[in-house]
Structure 1
Amino acid sequence: MSDKKAPAPGDGLRSLRSTGIFRAVNFELYARPNAVIMTIGLAAMGICVGYIAYMRTKYENMGYYAAVDKEGEESFVQKKSKWD
């Protein structure tokens, strides 16, 4: 008699037989989701995206716009009038 229980619906890859090396290399497939770590990661990602958006609008409100130069790099250039 084995101590293994029968696979239940929702077990996914955890119920299949595999080697220790496969489990070590593909850890994310076998680890259970952690809501606390996921929340911290989503908050950090949101803060980063918000900061980038804030900096972009800050430069645009100062009179700068995103321009692409000949090499294909984006840079912020101050708007100039042809009349000056």
Structure 2
Amino acid sequence: MTSEGNKQPLPGEGIRSLRASTFFKVTNFELYAKPNLIVMGIGLLAFTGCTCYIAYMRNKYEKLGYYSAVKEDGTEAFVKRTSKWD
């Protein structure tokens, strides 16, 4: 990553040009690996899909008249909305 005889870091190397221990390089792998656009795109697509699915399911339950309520034991559950007059 550095030029052979000069030992000066090349432009764009960033933290890769610093001397570091093997332990630091293993535990901070993302600092030394080149970005993979294909994997990043798949991850972004999966994250977006999950977020949209959660929003869809929440909207679906709200349209049916359910709301999220916290029970006495601390758990959350969807409960059918009822009227005080019933």
Same topology, TM > 0.5 = yes
CA displacement 1:31-79 (0-9 Å, x = unmatched) = 1111111111111000011111111111111110111222332210001
SS at match of 2:8: coil
The alignment's C-alpha RMSD in Å is 1.8
Q: For structure 2, which runs of at least 5 residues remain unmatched after alignment? A: none
Q: Are 1:47 and 2:36 counterparts?
A: no
TM-score (norm 1): 0.84
Q: For structure 1, which runs of at least 5 residues remain unmatched after alignment? A: none
Which stretch has the larger CA shift, 72-81 or 44-53?
72-81
What's the % identity of the aligned pairs? Answer: 57
Q: Are 1:62 and 2:53 counterparts?
A: no
Q: Structure 2 CA distance, aligned partners of 1:8 and 1:70?
A: 62
